[in-house]
Amino acid sequence: MKVSGFTYIPLSIVLLVVGALGSLFIGRYPINSGDLFQLITTGRHDDQNLGIILYNIRLPRMLAAIAVGGALAISGAAYQGMFRNPMVSPGILGVSSGAGFGAAMAILLSLPATGVQLMSFAGGLSAVFSAVAISRSIRQGHDPLLVLVLAGIIISSFFGAMLSILKYVADPEEKLPTIVYWLMGTLANVRMEDLGVVLPVVALGSIPLLLLSWRLNVLSFGEDEARSLGVHSGKLRIMVILCATLIDASIISISGIIGWVGLVIPHIARFTVGPNHKVLLPVSFLFGAIFMLLVDNLARTISSLEVPVGIITAIVGTPFFIYFLKRSSTRSWE
Amino acid sequence: MGIERTPFLELRQADLGYNHNVILRDVNLSVGSAEIVTLLGPNGAGKTTLFKTIMGFIPPVAGTIAVQGTDIRKIPPRELGKLVAYVPQLHKTPFPFKARDIVLFGRTVHLGLFSSPGKEDRKVADRCLDLLDVTHLAERPFTELSGGERQMVIIARALAQEAGFIILDEPTANLDYGNQVRVIRKIKELQQQSIGIMLSTHQPDHAFMLGSTVLVMKNGSVLKPGKPEEILTSGTLRTIYGVDVDVIDMPSNGKAGRKLCAPVV
């Protein structure tokens, strides 16, 4: 049976809701459905711990997994379309290196959690803006996409080097492990207040991306052809970069650097629903959210010591991706 | 009487190319709205440069280019796309979009920044696929189509823009003999619907088949346009391509018909 790509949207929403509810039950502290029902409907339960665990630990964590997975996947899908390149991930313009440097700086300065998030957000933004500024200053006579990618690589390695300096001078007993652990990426430290700030920013970046998705399709023919079809590629690029950077910088500021999702989930989504960004972008978001939920549930239950989720994404994701690659009948790239 | 109609496309004293490398000098040209113009010229004569400049991809080095009397530098891409559609030489997209989606891309010039094509746009796209006899390709991934099929789909996309003028950059390049003839036939049909056409080709015969205005480009300049029978003589073809070509009358029912080019080998 041939299924239209759009049917995957309600299908994935159902799967996501089931997964999200399910993950509220998963964890070291046992909660059964009766307890949960009572707690949600009456707002009370004999067991004092239950409310704390649900509202302060499992709910924010579940929401964080959805936001982080969805955000990284949708921005990755938009970037792959914009750069017309399957090797592109959200970090291509330096947002993760910049964010990593910002966070490490804040940790060195012993700032509180909010300070680390703000510095990381600012670091991510400044890295991408520097990359865009560099590419614009040397655009004349070059392929603008190529210059942009090169500028991104240069900026990434610059911030990478700056980060190394910070690690080198960091106190190896206390600061260095904190930096290293932050860089691995985890959802364990996400609080409800953080989500209150980050979720609106993710929405602010995602909605324009969804609205621009038709134009992203047209851009896949290249600069000139897109122009002949009425799409101003330069302006469109800036809008996509702005949205994706807002999404990624805010997400990284609460989760640290989680790789793999933004690179591979868009591919899996493309195998499944085809290249039309009108379907591909929402489905990437949903697939990313589902995947992250699954992986985070694994991360917090696999052993008594929590494994950073950024490690699990790659370990679980690799066979997952190979399976999809083998199964896909049409090539999704020319 | 005596009313000067603004030509659809007009180039005045235009130098085309790049600042450090001007490819065509002092081009003066005016094209009517339902005309077919065939561009002939050796490789590197500047055919693609001329098209790219008209489409606004590269600015003219000097002079002006106007569409319906307005300087193209003052026409935003979306507005220009409603007037002139472009069929480029190479159609590359990394993604396996369906042929119907590709045709729908032509509707983008009629859409707002944040909107996508609706039901009416899909009807237009289906009609354009039908006009080019490629309705059967609608659901096929573009990346899996043959060269001839791709060309038809891209021409359908240009039609979907509903522009009055279509520029085709070597639409028959890399096509087999049958597909070349099919593309030329379609171009003739389009002209009957009063769509203006400008195309480049390496086959002087195409100009005879289309009965079009011929524009010859040679050594960085554009020669005076004219009817193929007047312009495409053995002498001119020799100057353009540097080989001997006999131009003969094709006998049809006893009387002289279309002309044919027969290269001397």
| A95 vs A102: CA distance, rounded Å | 10
Evaluate if residue B1 carries a pLDDT over 50.
Answer: no
- Going from N- to C-terminal start, the domains of chain A cover 5-327
- The pLDDT tens digits for B190-236 are 988 889 999 999 999 999 999 889 999 988 888 888 999 899 999 99
Domain count, chain B: 1
From residue A63, give the alpha-carbon distance in Å to each of A33, A109, A189, A196, A331.
19, 29, 13, 11, 34
| A300 vs A94: CA distance, rounded Å | 29
Interface with chain A: mutation pick from B18, B105, B121, B140, highest number of A CBs within 10 Å:
B105
| B152 vs B158: CA distance, rounded Å | 10
Q: Which long-range contacts (CB under 8 A, 24 or more apart) does A38-42 make?
A: none
Q: From its phi and psi, is residue A118 left (phi > 0), alpha (psi between -120 and 50) or beta? A: alpha
- The pLDDT tens digits for B81-122 are 999 999 998 777 778 899 999 999 999 999 988 889 999 999
| A135 vs A154: CA distance, rounded Å | 11
Q: Which residues of A touch B94 (CB under 8 A)?
A: 84-86, 220, 333-334
Would you tell me which CATH number, out of the four given (1.10.3470.10, 3.40.50.1370, 3.40.50.720, 3.40.50.2000), belongs to the domain A5-327? 1.10.3470.10
Low-confidence residues in chain A, pLDDT < 70: 1-3, 139, 141, 328-334
Q: pLDDT class for B2, splitting at 50, 70, 90? A: very low
Residue B261: inside a domain: no
- pTM to 2 decimal places: 0.90
Q: Which residues of B touch A3 (CB under 8 A)?
A: none
* Residues A237, A278 contacting (CB under 8 angstroms): no
What b/e sequence results for A90-125 when a residue is b if at least 16 CB atoms lie within 10 Å of its CB, and e otherwise? bbbbbbbbbbbbbbbbbbbeeeeeeebbbbbbbbbb
| B231 vs B250: CA distance, rounded Å | 17
- On the 0-12 / 13-18 / 19+ scale of CB atoms within 10 A, A61 is buried
Q: Which residues contact A276 (CB under 8 A, 6 or more apart)?
A: A5, A217, B97, B101
Residue A331: the pLDDT is 58
Residue A137's φ and ψ, nearest 5 degrees, are -75, -20
Interface with chain B: mutation pick from A143, A207, A211, A229, highest number of B CBs within 10 Å:
A229
Structural domain including B130 reads 9-232
* Residues B163, B127 contacting (CB under 8 angstroms): no
Residue A314: the pLDDT is 84
Chain A, 266-295: which have a CB under 8 Å from a chain B CB? Answer: 270, 274-276, 278
* Residues B181, B20 contacting (CB under 8 angstroms): no
Residue B243: the pLDDT is 92
From residue A310, give the alpha-carbon distance in Å to each of A4, A163, A185, A316.
33, 19, 5, 10
**Given an 8 Å threshold on Cβ–Cβ distance, is B85 in contact with A214?**
no
**Given an 8 Å threshold on Cβ–Cβ distance, is B92 in contact with A334?**
yes
Q: Which residues of B touch A276 (CB under 8 A)?
A: 97, 101
- At position B150, the amino acid (one-letter code) is R
| A28 CB within 8 Å of a chain B CB | no
Residue A1: the pLDDT is 40
- The pLDDT tens digits for B133-188 are 999 999 999 989 998 899 999 999 999 999 999 999 999 988 899 989 999 999 99
Looking at residue A5, the DSSP 8-state letter turns out to be G
Residue A3: the pLDDT is 59
Residue B184: inside a domain: yes
Q: Which residues contact A168 (CB under 8 A, 6 or more apart)?
A: none
- CATH label of the domain that carries residue B206: 3.40.50.300
Q: Which residues contact A296 (CB under 8 A, 6 or more apart)?
A: A23, A61, A64, A65, A187, A309
* Residues A250, A121 contacting (CB under 8 angstroms): yes
* CA atoms in the 13 A half-sphere facing the CB of B129: 23
**Given an 8 Å threshold on Cβ–Cβ distance, is A229 in contact with B109?**
yes
Q: pLDDT class for B256, splitting at 50, 70, 90? A: low
Residue B250: inside a domain: no
